[in-house]
Amino acid sequence: MKGKVSVKPSNEHWTVSSSKLQDFQLKLPLAHASCPSTVVSAPVEIVWLLLTDPARWGDFFDVRITRVEPAGSAVIGQRFYGESGPRFLHIGLKFEYTKVNEAQHQLGLNAQLPFGITVREDLNCIPISNTRCRVNYHCNFRFAKGWRGAITRALMRRNLDVGPVDSLSRLKRAAEQRYTALQDSNS
């Protein structure tokens, strides 16, 4: 087989280039954006408190926080580390706040996942009323260049949207439970 053969299934672009198919190139998009949004039946302040206390993220996100530097509420440059997955695997995660705008309820984070995956996360919370808010969660995934990134991207394809949606639904559930408990204690 000589020359170049291109196959384009759905959104992906595959290129095979070789006279003997010994040199194999697999080209997939090395980025993916997932942008779920939800309405939370809790005041924006409760959601904000959950998002800006990284030491407690393990209470509702699928992560075990192992270290926060410096300790305390979110500040630009603050780094925190965690693990995900089954406890015996210790899949390491690293996060850093790049934007903390309390007045506008906006956060920016850079996350580093295994296998050369990086994620730019931008969240904002918009008050709808005194007891409800909308949370927008923008995740921009990037994969390592070359065949390793292409394989990782292909293997993770289905989870790239499921993960952010799951995280957002966990945040929603935690905020609503906290708000309900607060209302019950004030009754």
Place of tokens 């209302």: 183
β-pair type (133-142, 79-84):
unpaired
Q: For residue 125, which phi and psi values (nearest 5 degrees)?
A: -120, 125
Tell me which amino acid residue 53 is: D
More confidently predicted of 103 and 26: 103
Rounded to whole angstroms, how far apart are CA atoms 121 and 174?
20
- Tell me the two tokens of residue 140: 């921009």
Q: Is the pLDDT of residue 17 over 60?
A: no
Overall average pLDDT of the 36-57 stretch: 97
Q: Count CB atoms within 10 A of the CB of residue 98.
A: 15
The pLDDT > 90 percentage for the chain reads 64
Q: What are the structural domains of the chain?
A: 30-186 (3.30.530.20)
Rounded to whole angstroms, how far apart are CA atoms 141 and 31?
5
Q: Give the model's pLDDT for residue 156.
A: 87
Q: What is the pTM of this model?
A: 0.81
Overall average pLDDT of the 108-137 stretch: 96
Q: What is the mean pLDDT of the chain?
A: 85
Rounded to whole angstroms, how far apart are CA atoms 85 and 138?
22
Rounded to whole angstroms, how far apart are CA atoms 14 and 4?
11
Rounded to whole angstroms, how far apart are CA atoms 187 and 175?
18
Q: Got the DSSP string for 13-42?
A: -EEEE-SSS-S------SEEEE--EEEESS
- Region of 21 (left: φ > 0; alpha: ψ -120 to 50; beta: rest) is left
Question: Which DSSP helix (H) or strand (E) runs through 7?
Answer: strand 4-7
Q: Give the model's pLDDT for residue 174.
A: 97
CA-wise closest residue to 178 among 45, 72, 38: 45
